[in-house]
Copies of this chain bind each other. A is one copy, B any other.
Amino acid sequence: MPAFKRLPRAVRERQMLDSAVRVFSRRGYHAASMDEIAEAAGVSKPMVYAYLGTKEELFTACLHREATRLMETVAGAVEPDVPADRQLWNGLRAFFDVVATSREGWTVLYRQARGLEPFAAELADMRSRMVRVVTVLLGRAMAGSGGRATETELEVMAHALVGAGESLADWMTDHPGADPAKTATQMMNVAWLGADRLLGGTSWHPEAGR
Contacts and interface: CB of A to CB of B under 8 A. Distances in A.
A132 B142 CA distance: 33
Tell me how many chains of this kind the complex includes.
Answer: 4
20 contacts: A28-B115, A28-B116, A28-B117, A30-B30, A83-B210, A85-B195, A89-B206, A113-B115, A147-B198, A156-B186, A159-B170, A163-B165, A163-B166, A164-B167, A188-B206, A190-B191, A192-B204, A193-B193, A193-B202, A194-B194
A110 to B, nearest CB: 8
A191 B160 contact: yes
Contact of A199 (B89, B110, B120, B138): B138
Instruction: Report whether over half of chain A's contact residues are helix, strand or loop; otherwise say mixed.
Output: helix
A190 B188 CA distance: 11
Contacts of A142: 199
Interface of A: 27-31, 83, 85-86, 89, 108, 110-117, 120, 138, 141-142, 145-149, 153, 156-157, 159-168, 170-171, 181, 183-206, 210
